[in-house]
Structures are given as structure tokens and as C-alpha cells.
């Protein structure tokens, strides 16, 4: 069976996805959905099985719900999606018996990095995250950093302890934190996607790092998610379950 895949978005990620699909023996690109098109009208005339969307937090929900209504399974790599939408998406998937994947990061190494960080979390009282991305990224902190901090605190079963300086010589320099994990966001040209998770304890430190050096790094995860949704009948958050890490 050949899986027909629509790519939502015509940017750098969309172009990379089309290239990856063309290299897969059991997949083929089934068209490109750009922002000027009406998703409902597009999917009503499409014979696609899956849509891959990396557009943004405003566009992705519109595309995903239109796709499901037409029997097309969404694979979404957009961060910043609202909990209400994720609940709605989960309900629709179960109602229609169609799979969907929403993941903050499709790089397999990044998913493994997050998994290792959750394994380490119960053994350390302090942790910080440095996430580094290109200067065109629209959100901060990254979805990967937020998901990592949440998963670490969940595994630890309580928030991390956090340094609170007596004086901030530059106001706001220690203000961004989730579950006690201070998150630092770096935005520079030349970067793609990088993250360090730093754990500290008396007399020792542990650093876990992953680097995506090109957008090609995300494609194996996208391909795995496409295969997954074809056999799933519900929403899957993250790639951990797809990779057998859960």
C-alpha cells in the first residue's frame, strides 16, 4: 500500500518533508496545502491518507480538524498548541477512529535526549535547560524545552528546587521557569535546533545534549509518525510511544 501524504506549508520544513516522502518506497506526496487555500475545500477533493503540518499554532488546528473530517490523519510538528484544541483533537480521533500525532520534536536523538532526562530527574534536586534555535523561531521557550521540563517534573513527582538570587543585576535574567526548571532561550543565526539539560547535585553535574544540524534530522521521526497514524485510532502526544520508549 502506498501512503499518500499532503504537506501543509511551503516553507523550509515543508520542502524537506516533500523531499523525504519522495525517497520512501511506500509513500508519495499528494499535494501541498499553502496558507491561501481553504483546508476544507482542499481535503474534500484530495485522496490523501495523511497530512503533515509544521505551519504554526494558529493554522495547524484549522488544517487538522478539516483533515480529520475528510478522513485524513494529521501529523503535527507545531508547538504552542492550546490544551483545548488537543482535547478536541483527541475526541475527534476517537470518534472517527483515526490516528494523529502531535510532537514537539521529530528528531529521534532529541526524543531520546528527553527520555534520558526523565530517567535522571528523580536523582537530582536541581535542573536547568538551555535551548538554542535559529533567529527566525517565533516562540520562546521552545516546545521541546517545555515538554522536557514537564516530563522531568512528572517523573520526579514534584518540582525541582531552584536558585533565587538575592539580587538580579539584570531584571528578568532568572525569571523563566517551569516546574522549578529554569529555561534559557538562545536565538542566533546559524543555529538550527539544540538543547542541553543540566542537572546539579553536591559535587557533581550531569549534562545531556542534542544537536540538530539540519532539518534533515527531523525526517526519520516524521516518517515514523506517518506509519504510526495509519495503524492508530487515537491521538498520540510525542514520539516516545512511537519509538517504544513508553
Cβ–Cβ under 8 Å, residues 100 and 239:
no
What gap in Å lies between CA 153 and CA 127, rounded to an integer?
10
E runs forming strands in 34-144: 50-53, 73-76, 100-102, 126-133
- What H or E segment, with its residue span, contains residue 236? strand 235-237
What gap in Å lies between CA 143 and CA 77, rounded to an integer?
10
CA distances from 65 to 60, 79, 93, 205, 230 (A): 9, 17, 10, 45, 17
Cβ–Cβ under 8 Å, residues 7 and 14:
yes
Q: Which residues are catalytic?
A: 133, 137
Q: Helices marked H in 121-218 — which ranges?
A: 143-156
SS3 193: strand
What gap in Å lies between CA 223 and CA 20, rounded to an integer?
8
Amino acid at each position: 500500500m502506498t501512503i499518500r501524504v499532503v504537506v501543509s506549508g511551503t516553507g523550509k520544513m515543508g520542502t524537506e518533508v516533500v523531499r523525504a516522502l519522495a525517497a520512501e518506497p511506500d509513500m508519495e506526496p499528494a499535494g501541498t496545502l499553502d496558507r491561501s487555500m481553504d483546508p476544507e475545500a482542499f481535503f474534500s477533493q484530495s485522496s490523501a491518507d495523511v497530512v503533515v503540518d509544521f505551519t504554526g499554532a494558529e493554522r495547524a488546528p484549522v488544517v487538522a480538524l478539516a483533515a480529520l473530517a475528510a478522513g485524513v490523519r494529521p501529523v503535527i510538528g507545531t508547538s504552542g498548541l492550546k490544551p483545548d484544541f488537543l482535547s478536541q483533537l483527541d475526541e475527534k480521533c476517537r470518534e472517527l477512529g483515526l490516528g494523529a500525532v502531535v510532537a514537539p520534536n521529530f528528531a529521534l536523538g532529541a526524543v531520546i535526549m528527553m527520555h534520558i532526562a526523565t530517567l535522571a530527574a528523580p536523582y537530582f534536586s536541581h535542573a536547568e535547560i538551555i535551548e538554542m534555535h535559529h533567529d527566525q523561531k517565533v516562540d520562546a521557550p521552545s516546545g521541546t524545552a517545555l515538554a522536557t521540563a514537564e516530563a522531568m517534573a512528572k517523573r520526579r513527582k514534584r518540582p525541582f528546587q531552584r536558585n533565587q538570587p538575592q539580587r538580579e543585576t539584570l531584571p528578568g535574567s532568572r525569571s523563566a521557569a517551569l516546574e522549578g526548571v529554569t529555561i534559557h532561550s538562545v536565538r542566533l543565526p546559524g543555529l538550527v535546533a539544540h538543547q542541553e539539560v543540566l542537572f546539579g547535585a553536591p559535587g557533581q553535574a550531569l549534562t545531556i545534549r542534542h544537536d540538530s544540524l539540519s532539518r534533515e534530522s527531523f525526517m526519520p521521526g516524521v516518517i515514523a509518525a506517518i506509519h504510526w497514524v495509519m495503524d492508530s485510532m487515537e491521538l498520540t502526544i510525542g514520539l516516545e510511544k512511537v519509538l517504544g520508549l513508553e
